[in-house]
Amino acid sequence: MRMRSSNPVIKRAMRSGQAGYGQPHAAPYGQGGPYQQGYQQPYGQPYQQQGYPQPGYGPQGYGHPQPGYPQQGAPYGQPPAAAPAGARMTIDDVVMRSGMTIGTVIVAAVVNFFLFDPLNPGLGMGLTFVGAIGALILGLVIGFKQSTNAALILTYAVLEGLFVGGISRVFETAAGAAPGALVTQAVFGTIFAFATMLALYRLRIIRVTNTFVKVVSVALVAALVMLLANFVLGFFIDGGLGLREAGPLGIVVSLVMIVIACATLAIEFRGIEDGISAGLPARFAWQFAFGLTVSLVWLYIEILRLLWMIQAIFSGD
């Protein structure tokens, strides 16, 4: 028995009748589309008495092609050749859209990283602030609306990239590291974490069940509440609760955040797999690309923060 997906993208598509598990037709059974209303006649009534006009139906046409019906030998759950439902999402679609989105983040990050002059940070800091606020607002809009608009998601990627480039330069300056030193380590750490989670998921060492999703969601909400409390208290107490400061507690919190971010990657993998199995339209690949981008950027920033803490502790700052 297939486990019901908890992914909101798939639920939205199924509710709108655009796709479903093995249901290529949007029309309800027996109503419109390729299905005829005659299917709703009382049991036992002969079909010939209902005046079915289409050719090929009945004893004389049995076995001949009919418009709107799956042909003999067609794969189970596939749309009929006479009534295609549009291109279905494939793993290539997700990889291509994800590459475009993440590539846009990288380009914008590189630009702001080199524009950010520690001695005169006005322009770089301004772009970083605009990127942070813009990415937050646009990310919430895309997430809640489950948008598949390519222009909107790529705009989010530009804003996210501006923020990533600026914050990367801030951490390196604070750690006293050479430009690119911490960034290079954080990039390789993110790639390693991504590859490890993908391997663990593909080998089914990590099984993303509905319980897994609920546990990760609760942990994520709890972590965000703690970070928000730490941020607010920071206005009254130096360092707030110390959750983001360079020290043992800060390192533990960063490690926990990295684990949660990795878990969200596994959930994204499950969503992509379910989306392909459900036959979602190809445009939904943009929504999965957005989810992967959010998780990867968060993972990168947490690894970068952890490296900054380690550098600060061992340098005595």
254 pLDDT more than 80:
yes
Q: Are 164 and 172 in contact (CB under 8 A)?
A: no
**And the tokens for 219?**
């942990």
The dihedral region occupied by 42, where left means phi > 0, alpha psi between -120 and 50, and beta the remainder, is beta
Angstrom CA distances, 42 to 37, 38, 50, 59, 175, stand at: 12, 9, 11, 21, 78
- The model scores a pTM over 0.85: no
Q: Are 281 and 19 in contact (CB under 8 A)?
A: yes
Residues 178-231 have pLDDT tens digits of 888 899 999 999 999 999 999 999 999 999 999 999 999 999 999 999 999 988
Residues 59-102 have pLDDT tens digits of 444 444 444 444 444 444 444 343 335 689 999 999 999 999 99
Q: What is the per-residue pLDDT for 13?
A: 54
Among the listed ranges 10-19, 161-170, 195-204, 250-259, which one has the minimum average pLDDT value?
10-19
Q: How confident is the model at residue 240 (pLDDT cuts 50, 70, 90)?
A: confident
149 pLDDT more than 60:
yes
- Write b or e for each residue in 72-105: b if 16 or more Cβ atoms lie within 10 A of its Cβ, otherwise e: eeeeeeebbeeeebeebbeeebbeebbebbbebb
Work out the percent of the chain whose per-residue pLDDT is above 70: 72
Q: How confident is the model at residue 258 (pLDDT cuts 50, 70, 90)?
A: very high
Residues 297-314 have pLDDT tens digits of 999 999 999 999 998 888
**And the tokens for 238?**
């130096």
Q: What is the per-residue pLDDT for 101?
A: 97
Q: How confident is the model at residue 238 (pLDDT cuts 50, 70, 90)?
A: confident
Work out the percent of the chain whose per-residue pLDDT is above 90: 56
Among the listed ranges 23-37, 123-137, 211-225, 232-246, which one has the minimum average pLDDT value?
23-37
Q: Which of 72, 74, 76, 53 is nearest to 64 (CA)?
A: 72
Q: What is the per-residue pLDDT for 152?
A: 96
Q: Which residue has the higher pLDDT, 171 or 78?
A: 171
d(CA 14, CA 16): 5
* Full DSSP string of the chain: -PPPP--HHHHHHHHTTS--TT----SPTTSSTTS-GGGGSPTT--GGGGT---TT-SGGGTTS--TTSPPTTPPTTPPPTTS---PBP-HHHHHHHHHHHHHHHHHHHHHHHHH-BTTB-HHHHHHHHHHHHHHHHHHHHHHHHT---HHHHHHHHHHHHHHHHHHHHHHHHHHTPPTTHHHHHHHHHHHHHHHHHHHHHHTTSS---HHHHHHHHHHHHHHHHHHHHHHHHTTTSTTTTSTTSSSHHHHHHHHHHHHHHHHHHHHHHHHHHHHHHHT-BGGGHHHHHHHHHHHHHHHHHHHHHHHHHHHHHHHT-
Q: What is the per-residue pLDDT for 12?
A: 57
Q: Which residue has the higher pLDDT, 20 or 185?
A: 185
